[in-house]
Structure 1
Amino acid sequence: MSGLRLAIWDVDGTLVDSRETIHNIMVEAFDLSGLTPPEYDATRRIVGLSLHEACAQLAPDASADDIEKLVTDYRNSWLRARSQPGFSQPLYDGALETLEALRDEGWLIAMATGKTRRGIASLFELHKLEHFFDTIWCADDGPGKPNPYMVEQAMGALGAAPHESLMIGDAIHDISMGRAAGVYTHGVSWGFGTAHELKEAGAHEVHHDFSTLRNSLMDFDPKARP
C-alpha cells in the first residue's frame, strides 16, 4: 500500500490505564482546596480537556482564585504520586503490540494528549514508548481538546493530509477534536468514555479491544477515503 498513513493517539484511557490514578489525584486536589470532591463519573467526563477548563467544569461555583489553587493542587498531587514507590500506570493489553505493528507496517505515529510535557516524560520513564512517536503534541503547546489544533499540528509536522490520518481516543473530546480536523476517528470503550458517548460524539468506529482496533488500522486505505 503506497502513501502516508498517520495514527494520532490519545494517551490516558487509550494507551495507558490511568482511570483510578487521575480520579484519586483529582479528589486529593479538591480536598486540599477545601472543595467538595467530584464523583468518578464527573471526573471521567473532563479527562482530555485543559486542566483549567476541567477544573472549572468540576467546580462551576468556584472563584477564579479557587480554580487557580485547584489547578496548582492537582499538579502538586501528581508530582507527589509520581514520586511514590510502586507508582504505576499500566499499558492496556495490546497497546504495545499495536504500536509495534504500526511501526512495522511503516505508519507515522503521533501523540495528541492533554498531558503536559512533564507528564509525558514521566510516562516514558514508566514505559519505553518514546521511539514510537514521530511527533508529540500536548497541553503545553497550544489550544487543548476539542480544538483541532493538536491534530492539525501533528499532520503538518509529518506532511500528512486529513484523508491519510486517523485519531484514536477514548473520550468524546478526542473524537470531537479529530472530527473538527477532518480525520477518521476510532473510539475505544475501555477508557473514560462509554461506547454510546463515543458514537454520539461522531466516532466513525468504536472498538472494545485492541485486537479489533489493530485489525481495522491494518485495513486502513487512505485512497478509499473521500
Structure 2
Amino acid sequence: MSLKLAVWDLDGTIVDSREIIQGAMVSAFTKWGIKAPDYDQTRQIVGLTLATAIENLVPDAEPALIANLTEDYKKSFIALRQAPDYKEPLYDGSIQLLNDMVADGWLMGVATGKSRQGLSHILDMHDLEKFFDTHWCADDGPGKPHPHMVQKNMDQLGCFAEQTVMIGDAIFDMQMARAANVHALGVSWGFGKADELAAAGAHAVVHDYNELRQSLFEFGAKVTS
C-alpha cells in the first residue's frame, strides 16, 4: 500500500492565533517606543522564524534592537496566554478532519515557525499530539521558506515528495512546499490571502474545512491508486 503524508502548518491553519500574535507584536513594539505594525503588516510575516519576522518588520533596526523586540514578543505572548480572556481556538472542523485522516491511514506531520516550547504548548492545550507522527519547528534547523522542515517530515516517515502534501495559510508555507517539490495546498482563512497563496505557488487554495477535506482525500486517492 502506498504511503500518503500530510504536513501541517499550525498558526492560521489549525489554530486561530491571529489575535494573540498581533497583540504580542503590538506590546513588544510599544515597549521600545516603536510604531507597532498593523495587522496587515504582521500577517505577512507569520510563518517565518521570529527574529527573521521582526527583521522584516523593521529592516533598518540594529541587531540589538531586533534581539530585544524578539525577547519581548516572547514575554508578551506568554503574558497574553495567562490573561483571563485568552483565546487561541481551533478552527471549526479541524479535529474531525484530523481524526478522519488518521482513520484513513494518513501519516501526519507538522512544519511550524513556532519554537519547540510554543509547539508543545499548542499540542498539549488542544490535545493534538495524538494526531501527528512527527513534528518539526523553528528550533530544528532552517525556517520557512527553506524546505528543511518538510524534508525532515518525509525522511522521518519514509515518504517521497510525490506522496506528500503541505497544508498552510502563509506564502512561506507555499514557497516551502514548492522548494520541497511537494503538493502545496493553501487555506484562505488564516494569515495569507487567496491571491497571495496562489502567487506563492499553491497548487490549490481552499476556503473552508469541507473544501480542504475534499482536496486532501482527492490527493490521497491519487497517491494510493
- TM-score tier by shorter-chain length is over 0.9
| Aligned residue runs from structure 1 range 104-115, under 5 A | 104-115=103-114
Q: How does 1:41-60 map to 2 (within 5 A)?
A: 41-60=40-59
What residue is the counterpart of 1:80 in the other structure? 79
Q: CA deviation at 1:87?
A: 2.1
Match of 2:223 in 1: 222
The aligned length equals 223
Segment drifting more, 76-85 vs 102-111: 76-85
Query: Displacement of 1:215 after TM fit?
Result: 1.1
TM-score under structure 1 normalisation?
0.96
Taking the aligned partners of 2:124 and 2:84, their CA distance within structure 1 comes to 13
Contact 2:9 2:173 in 1 (8 A): yes
**Structure 1: any 5+ residue segments left out of the alignment?**
none
Q: What RMSD, in angstroms, separates the aligned Cα atoms of the two structures?
A: 1.1
Q: Tell me how far apart the structure 1 counterparts of residues 85 and 32 of structure 2 sit (CA, whole Å).
A: 26
Deviation at 1:124, TM superposition (A): 2.3
Report if aligned partners of 1:88, 1:126 keep a CA contact under 8 Å in 2: no
AA at the equivalent of 1:20:
E
Q: Distance in 2 between matches of 1:63 and 1:97?
A: 46
Q: In the aligned structure 2, how far is the partner of 1:142 from the partner of 1:190?
A: 27
The superposition leaves residues 33-65 of structure 1 with CA deviations (integer Å, 9 ceiling, x where unpaired) of 221100111000000001111001111221111
- The gaps in structure 2 that reach 5 residues or longer are none
CA distance in 2, matches of 1:51, 1:216: 31
CA displacement 1:189-210 (0-9 Å, x = unmatched) = 0000000000101100100001
Q: Deviations over 1:112-163 (max 9, x none)?
A: 0001111112212320110101000001100000000000000000000000
**Is 1:211 matched up with 2:188?**
no
Query: Counterpart in 1 of 2:27?
Result: 28
Q: Distance in 1 between matches of 2:107 and 2:99?
A: 12
Note if contact 1:33-1:73 (Cα within 8 Å) is conserved in structure 2: no
Provide the TM-score with structure 2 as the length reference: 0.96
Counterpart contact for 1:6–1:110, Cα < 8 Å: yes
Say whether 1:61 aligns with 2:63: no
Aligned AA (1:157): Q
CA 1:124 to 1:86, structure 2 compared with 1: closer, same or farther past 3 Å? Answer: farther
Matched, 1:125 2:124: yes
Contact 2:3-2:224 within 8 A present in 1 as well: no
Amino acid at match of 1:65: A
Separation in 2, partners of 1:145, 1:124: 20
CA deviation profile, 1:54-80 (whole Å, cap 9, x unmatched): 001111221111101000100111121
